[in-house]
């Protein structure tokens, strides 16, 4: 089931955590189950020693296991007894150690979000891991594992309430976190939505990588005869396929592609459901909160003021079905690798395009409702794209003609009309809009990408020209913000007349300056 967006004004009251002392606004320690989870993590380091105990020198192996176990127990107990965290002044402070004490100060105004992750085992015991992330940092600045969910939520609320109090410069507000409005559900996604999201994503490459990993693993544990038998079977079948007539070969090839495509779709659906299960986007005060995940439950808070770029992404299949994904880049956000992303950039994994306009006020409250003032780029974009495509076709045809001097080698030239048509359609869907507070760009025909960036978030405007651009009097503009890790390079527009590009760049630079 899909929930309809609620009115932005609707909210309820919720009581925040009380201060713990006069010196610190908020303070706490780890949950006692930290001992259990720490021992489990330490056990993973001991497991590689078991083969030494079973197949090697048993006395030596047993000694290593005992020493490793004792050191693990001491380390875990030491961390649990000594670890403390508190909010004091302008910092979130973590400290640990008994004989040698380590203290880390994290400026509150640099904290971008506090993510709350909960794995399967953690869910059974009702505990979570809180990860503190700062603007400009890669990865987590601090990891508090493990906490009760209520302690983690109280810490997050206390941090962001403290930031608001410091910015308000009101001495009475500096004593502790104030009550804030309850969460208003903006949008939630059901299983059907996530299945559709998986179908329209189709991670074929991921499926092939996983198949290769399984093959390598099987190669390591199975006898060589099994590997050789499978390889010989595939080789014989491939030879038999090539020896068939052209129609049979074509049909079998299409069947193989269909099978690979289907496998990729299945993996995409499973991955989508596991990652984004029960995805709920809520608004709490001035923050957007996301909660999602089946095996690992994740909760993160996104202050709207930190949103640098919003992307409305429509891949080809999703555009065909009228669907989109909302992605955001935040100040200080840096890609840590696709495997570690875990949906952090996704504001909504799947949404019908007609709902996007209803959701935008929750993200950018002052974004105008009327966004029809789109300006097109130069019509020379069609000529430029066609010339470049035609030159590539001529180059390919020349290589083929050199290897096989026959008329059949000229088939790449037949693609030139299609290239012209594609460039014509791309031109129709390429444009930008400059308002009082926002700059919008859109590009793409089969798949479309629309970027919205607040003017006060712009940090640099770059004008570029290729040799083709210079000859045709065109230029491209790229807008840089504090974080552009996930939104496909951010707002950029190509094929502008060079004078218009310079004028637009000057206006963007002027609008981005503090008034």
Which range, of 50-54, 94-98, 347-351, 500-504, averages the lowest pLDDT?
A: 50-54
Instruction: Please check whether residues 310 and 295 belong to one and the same domain.
Output: yes
Host domain of residue 249 = 204-276
User: Into how many domains does the chain fold?
Assistant: 3
Q: Is residue 298 part of a domain?
A: yes
Residue 175 has pLDDT above 50, yes or no: no
Q: Is residue 289 part of a domain?
A: yes
Residue 402 has pLDDT above 80, yes or no: yes
Distance (Å, rounded) from C-alpha 64 to C-alpha 53?
Answer: 9
In the three-class reduction of DSSP (H, G, I as helix; E, B as strand; rest coil), residue 435 is classed as coil
Q: Is residue 318 part of a domain?
A: yes
Residue 10 has pLDDT above 50, yes or no: no
Nearest in space to 134 (alpha carbons), one of 108, 157, 162, 95: 108
Instruction: Please check whether residues 271 and 289 belong to one and the same domain.
Output: no
Q: Is residue 72 part of a domain?
A: no
Q: What percent of the chain has pLDDT over 90?
A: 35
Instruction: Please check whether residues 243 and 337 belong to one and the same domain.
Output: no
User: Whose structure tokens read 């909210």?
Assistant: 11
Distance (Å, rounded) from C-alpha 49 to C-alpha 186?
Answer: 51
Mean pLDDT of the chain: 81
Residue 409 has pLDDT above 70, yes or no: yes
Q: b/e for 363-387, b at 16 or more Cβ within 10 A?
A: bbeebeeeeeeeeebbebbbbbbbb
Instruction: Please check whether residues 250 and 302 belong to one and the same domain.
Output: no
Instruction: Please check whether residues 258 and 370 belong to one and the same domain.
Output: no
For position 67, what pLDDT does the model report?
Answer: 87
Question: 420-476 pLDDT, tens per residue?
Answer: 999 999 999 999 999 889 999 999 999 999 999 999 999 899 999 998 899 999 999
For position 257, what pLDDT does the model report?
Answer: 81
Q: Quote the distance between the C-alpha of residue 166 and its chain's center.
A: 30
Instruction: Please check whether residues 365 and 338 belong to one and the same domain.
Output: yes
Question: 189-212 pLDDT, tens per residue?
Answer: 999 999 999 888 866 655 665 566
Per-residue confidence band for 8, with pLDDT thresholds at 50, 70 and 90: very low
Q: Is residue 386 part of a domain?
A: yes
Residue 496 has pLDDT above 80, yes or no: yes
Question: 78-97 pLDDT, tens per residue?
Answer: 888 889 999 988 899 999 88
Higher pLDDT, 247 or 419: 419
Contacts of 291 (CB under 8 A, 6+ apart): 278, 279, 280, 282, 297, 298, 299
Question: 145-171 pLDDT, tens per residue?
Answer: 889 999 998 998 888 888 878 766 544
Instruction: Please check whether residues 272 and 288 belong to one and the same domain.
Output: no
- How far, CA to CA in Å, does 46 sit from each of 38, 40, 54, 67, 80? 13, 10, 13, 10, 20
For position 246, what pLDDT does the model report?
Answer: 67
Instruction: Please check whether residues 334 and 434 belong to one and the same domain.
Output: yes
Q: Mean pLDDT across the stretch 118-124?
A: 88
For position 62, what pLDDT does the model report?
Answer: 81
For position 210, what pLDDT does the model report?
Answer: 59
Higher pLDDT, 141 or 28: 28
Q: Is residue 341 part of a domain?
A: yes
Question: 244-284 pLDDT, tens per residue?
Answer: 666 776 777 788 788 878 888 888 888 889 889 999 999 98
Question: 309-327 pLDDT, tens per residue?
Answer: 999 999 998 999 999 999 9
Per-residue confidence band for 13, with pLDDT thresholds at 50, 70 and 90: very low
């Amino acid at each position: 089931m899909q929930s309809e967006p609620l009115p932005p004004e609707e909210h309820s009251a919720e009581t925040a955590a009380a201060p713990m002392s006069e010196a610190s606004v908020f303070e706490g320690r780890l949950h006692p189950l930290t001992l259990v989870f720490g021992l489990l993590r330490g056990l993973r380091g001991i497991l590689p020693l078991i083969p030494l105990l079973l197949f090697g020198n048993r006395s030596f192996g047993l000694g290593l296991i005992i020493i490793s176990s004792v050191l693990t127990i001491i380390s875990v107990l030491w961390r649990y007894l000594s670890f403390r965290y508190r909010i004091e002044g302008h910092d979130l402070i973590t400290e640990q150690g008994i004989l040698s004490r380590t203290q880390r100060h994290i400026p509150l105004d640099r904290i971008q979000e506090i993510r709350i992750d909960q794995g399967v085992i953690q869910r059974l015991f009702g505990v979570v891991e809180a990860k503190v992330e700062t603007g400009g940092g890669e990865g987590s600045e601090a990891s508090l594992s493990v906490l009760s969910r209520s302690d983690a939520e109280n810490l997050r609320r206390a941090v962001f309430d403290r930031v608001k109090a410091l910015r308000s410069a009101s001495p009475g507000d500096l004593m502790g976190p104030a009550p804030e409005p309850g969460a208003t559900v903006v949008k939630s996604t059901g299983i059907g939505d996530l299945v559709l999201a998986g179908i329209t994503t189709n991670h074929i490459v991921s499926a092939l990588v996983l198949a290769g990993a399984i093959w390598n693993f099987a190669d390591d544990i199975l006898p060589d005869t099994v590997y050789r038998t499978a390889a010989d079977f595939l080789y014989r079948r491939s030879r038999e396929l090539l020896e068939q007539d052209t129609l049979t070969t074509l049909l079998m090839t299409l069947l193989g592609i269909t099978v690979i495509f289907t496998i990729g779709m299945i993996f995409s659906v499973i991955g989508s459901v596991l990652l984004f299960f029960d995805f709920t986007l809520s608004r709490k005060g001035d923050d957007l909160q996301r909660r999602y995940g089946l095996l690992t439950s994740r909760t993160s808070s996104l202050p709207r003021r930190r949103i640098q770029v919003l992307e409305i992404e429509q891949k080809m299949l999703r555009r065909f079905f009228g669907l989109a994904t909302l992605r955001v880049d935040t100040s200080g956000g840096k890609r840590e690798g696709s495997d570690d992303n875990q949906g952090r950039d996704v504001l909504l994994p799947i949404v019908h395009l007609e709902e996007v306009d209803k959701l935008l006020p929750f993200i950018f409250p002052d974004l105008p409702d009327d966004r029809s003032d789109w300006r097109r780029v130069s019509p020379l974009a069609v000529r430029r794209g066609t010339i470049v495509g035609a030159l590539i076709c001529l180059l390919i045809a020349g290589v083929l003609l050199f290897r096989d001097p026959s008329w059949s080698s000229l088939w790449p030239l037949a693609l030139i009309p299609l290239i012209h048509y594609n460039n014509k359609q791309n031109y129709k869907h390429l444009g930008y809009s400059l308002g009082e507070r926002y700059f919008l760009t859109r590009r793409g025909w089969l798949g479309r990408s629309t970027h919205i960036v607040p003017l006060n978030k712009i940090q640099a405007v770059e004008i570029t020209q290729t040799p083709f651009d210079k000859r045709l009097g065109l230029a491209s503009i790229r807008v840089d913000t504090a974080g552009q890790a996930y939104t496909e390079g951010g707002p950029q527009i190509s094929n502008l007349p060079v004078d218009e590009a310079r004028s637009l760049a000057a206006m963007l630079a002027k609008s981005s300056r503090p008034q």
